[in-house]
């Protein structure tokens, strides 16, 4: 599974792959400054982390302040 999004003017690609029949799962996020690779036991955990990373990368590239709550 994979997708992409814009972080400012940068295109960010991410991919999630199963390393076995029932996991673990590898999330790789490729952005202008490099890649982030993390491993998860469940797809839900990996997708939640992708959302966090997407928010952080967009904020970093657009100068948007993050609000914690």
Confidence (pLDDT) at 65: 63
Confidence (pLDDT) at 62: 80
With H, G, I as helix, E, B as strand and everything else as coil, classify residue 39.
Answer: strand
Name every residue whose Cβ is closer than 8 Å to that of residue 57 and which is 6 or more positions away in sequence: 7, 10, 12, 29, 31
Q: Is the pLDDT of residue 40 over 90?
A: yes
Q: What is the pTM of this model?
A: 0.84
Report the distance separating Cα 2 and Cα 15, nearest Å.
4
Q: In 3D, which of 55, 8, 9 has the Cα closest to residue 29?
A: 55
């Amino acid at each position: 599974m994979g997708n992409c999004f814009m972080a400012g003017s940068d295109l960010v690609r991410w991919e999630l792959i199963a390393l076995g029949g029932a996991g673990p799962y590898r999330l790789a996020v490729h952005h202008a400054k490099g890649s982030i690779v993390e491993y998860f036991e469940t797809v839900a955990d990996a997708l939640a982390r992708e959302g966090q990373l997407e928010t952080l990368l967009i904020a970093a590239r657009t100068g948007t302040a993050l609000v914690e709550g």
